[in-house]
Amino acid sequence: VFTAATVAAAPEDPLFGLMKAYREDPSDKKVDLGIGAYRDNNAKPWILPVVKKADNAIHNDPNLNHEYLSIGGLADFTSAAQKLIVGADSAAIKDKRICSLQTISGTGAVHLGGLFLSKFHPQKPTIYLSNPTWANHNQIFTNVNLPIAKYPYFHASTKGLDFEGMMQTLTTAPEGSIILLHACAHNPTGVDPTQDQWKQIAAVMRARSHFPFFDTAYQGFASGDLARDAWAIRYFVEQGFELCVAQSFAKNFGLYGERTGAFHFVSAPGPDAAASSANIASQLAILQRSEISNPPAYGARIASRVLNDPVLFAEWEDDLRTMSGRILEMRAGLRERLEKRGTPGDWSHITSQIGMFSFTGLTEAQVLTLREKWHVYMTKNGRISMAGLNTHNIDYFAEAVDSVVR
Ligand code: PMP
């Protein structure tokens, strides 16, 4: 029988546990490199100026109310989100073969996609996740009963992509597997395939009839260029793949707590594509209704105003360049400092990796020393959030890394 006493305690979420330890550390030297949220040069959360503007306009709108959105969310938002993914002039949009629903940020989009595939895929195939991947992928796909496997991704000695290992697994995985791909700024490694490697990945996936499931949580945040960061997804769509995309606006709009995201399903081109897409939309709506009824309005209203107004859109692109530019400066600055000190090892991966995170190669023991002796907080796998570095703490962090590596 079920009683309260039959439930054992769950382990603490490692990332949220780390955040708590940081908050409770009284040291004035402490450095938070754990959480994946953008910080400005004073280690403070940054409200994008364009978001503030859109927010004010919404507040002053006399027609604003707090009614429910529709099941699929704010239509102006999902259509703009769709254009951002595939490009405004994509044949997939013209052919009406993309269906899009607003979701509870990227997490909700990954979940909705997983649930949909688990229910509607006739074989319940294995979903292959990169090793390593965003830890939540494992939990989300397990919750919807999709079997999970890994494909090699991070090469420990080069601290780059294990392209051979990845291709090998894509070749030998059972035909028709689902492959989860990070569209850009891979979390946690910061390692992305090159465009040429993406083409080879697409070719083997086509040959093996694998289904691409893209997770994009950092568009515009990696290179500062929205189209460039969407290149891989757009390439797969142009190649005629049937695929799905989980899209988060948490990082690129700084709307973390507003839970703003979208799920897109792109059907392959063909005479029945628009009809299939409408069928899929109808099924997704039923799943959405049973899970969340309808998505939250506020963040979508903000993003929608910006995405649908050319002047605000241009300001958003400036804000993206501000964030990605500061991160690139911190990457260059950290590498330069370590090299100047002669810190043992090759630090070129700090600048070849991209996006919010860097897989430093620091061992778990070194990470623990950094925490205990230096009050520097990062995850045990050696991942740092570049956004936690700034001109005030970068020298201190370089000194700390140098001391634990020697
Ligand atoms: N996917 C990846 C790879 C991520 O890094 C994140 C953010 N940590 C997400 C999805 C989703 O985040 P959110 O639900 O906050 O949009």
Give the separation between CA 6 and CA 22, rounded to whole angstroms: 33
Catalytic residue among 32, 162, 192, 215: 215
The number of the ligand 1 atom at minimal distance from the alpha carbon of 248 is 16
Binned at pLDDT 50, 70 and 90, residue 15 comes out as confident
Instruction: Work out the pLDDT band at 61, boundaries 50, 70, 90.
Output: very high
The residue whose CA has the least distance to atom 5 of ligand 1 is: 187
Between the CA of 134 and the centroid of ligand 1 the distance, in Å, is 8
41 CA → ligand 1 middle, Å? 23
Closest residue by CA, ligand 1 atom 11: 106
Query: What average pLDDT score do residues 133-152 get?
Result: 97
Residue 134 a catalytic site member = yes
Tens of pLDDT, residue by residue over 355-388, are: 999 999 999 999 999 999 999 999 999 999 999 9
**Burial (CB count within 10 angstroms: exposed 0-12, middle 13-18, buried 19+), residue 396:** middle
> Residue 394, class by beta-carbon neighbours within 10 Å (0-12 exposed, 13-18 middle, 19+ buried)?
middle
Confidence tier at 12 by pLDDT (50, 70, 90)? confident
| Range 116-126 average pLDDT | 94
| Band (35; pLDDT cuts 50, 70, 90) | confident
H or E element, residue 364? helix 364-374
Task: Say which DSSP state 355 is in.
Answer: S
Nearest CA to ligand 1 atom 4: 217
- Model confidence over 247-302: pLDDT tens digits? 999 999 999 999 999 999 999 999 999 999 999 999 999 999 999 999 999 999 99
How many CB atoms are located within 10 Å of the residue 62 CB?
A: 4
CA of 336 to the centre of ligand 1 (A): 30
Question: What's the confidence (pLDDT) of residue 23?
Answer: 94
Rounded Cα–Cα distance for residues 112 and 120 (Å):
12
Ligand 1 pocket member 217 (CB < 6 A): yes
Contact 97, 267 (CB under 8 A): yes
> How many angstroms separate the CA atoms of 261 and 113, rounded?
12
Which of 103, 136, 385 most suits a substitution to test ligand 1, by most atoms within 8 Å of the C-beta?
136
What per-residue confidence (pLDDT) applies to 94?
97
Q: Which atom of ligand 1 is nearest to the CA of 137?
A: 1
The predicted complex's ipTM stands at: 0.99
Compute, in angstroms, the gap from residue 246 CA to the centroid of ligand 1. 9
Confidence check: pLDDT of 11 > 90: no
